[in-house]
Amino acid sequence: MPKRRTRLRSHCPVNFGLEAFGDRWALLILRDIVFRGKRSYGEFLASEEGFSTNILASRLEHLVAEGILTRADDVRDGRRAVYSLTEKGLDLIPLLFEMVLWSAKYDRQSEAARIPGLVELIERDNRRVSAELRPLVVQGEAVVRRYVEGGAGAVRL
């Protein structure tokens, strides 16, 4: 994905989404924020899928430009930048959850198996769960942590 395409290829809703957040790496950043509570360049960089530094930087820039993320300087540490989801970004949670559902069904080895409780909740009512987890995401909590089987913070909505 280049810096920024001059014009959208089309206003088809699917295409619009793809151009805004549909890049592979962009979506992994969003995943890191929502499911893992990550917030900074360095944390994203540590993801197992292996970002290249330049790609990570360009995707962060892109997501900020799209209004899906905001970037702020960390108050406690001047070197750090903190990326957060805007409303527009938070509204992507249901989409991420649908991906989880699909992969849970078709990936025999899916890590979703570790959060059966959450998967079931999403199946039952994605929209509701997404809305209820929003505050947690805003607070920077790793949504997944609460639902890891046998985990300490397991919670039922």
| Binding interface with its own copies (CB under 8 A) | 9-18, 20, 22-24, 27-28, 31, 35, 48-50, 88, 91-92, 94-96, 98-107, 109-112, 126-127
Q: Does 15 bind DNA (CB under 7 A)?
A: no
Provide φ and ψ at 81, rounded to 5°. Answer: -120, 145
Choose which of 8, 10, 17, 42 interacts with DNA (CB under 7 A).
42
Q: Does 105 bind DNA (CB under 7 A)?
A: no
Task: Specify the residue for token string 């992507």.
Answer: 92
Contact 121, 143 (CB under 8 A): no
DSSP state of 123: H
Q: CB 95 → its own copies: shortest distance, Å? A: 4
Choose which of 7, 13, 48, 78 interacts with DNA (CB under 7 A).
78
CA 124 to CA 77: how far, in whole Å? Answer: 41
CA–CA distances in Å: residue 123 to residues 88, 95, 142: 23, 13, 20
Site residues for DNA per CB under 7 A: 1-2, 23, 25, 40-43, 45, 50, 52-55, 57-58, 60, 71, 74, 77-81
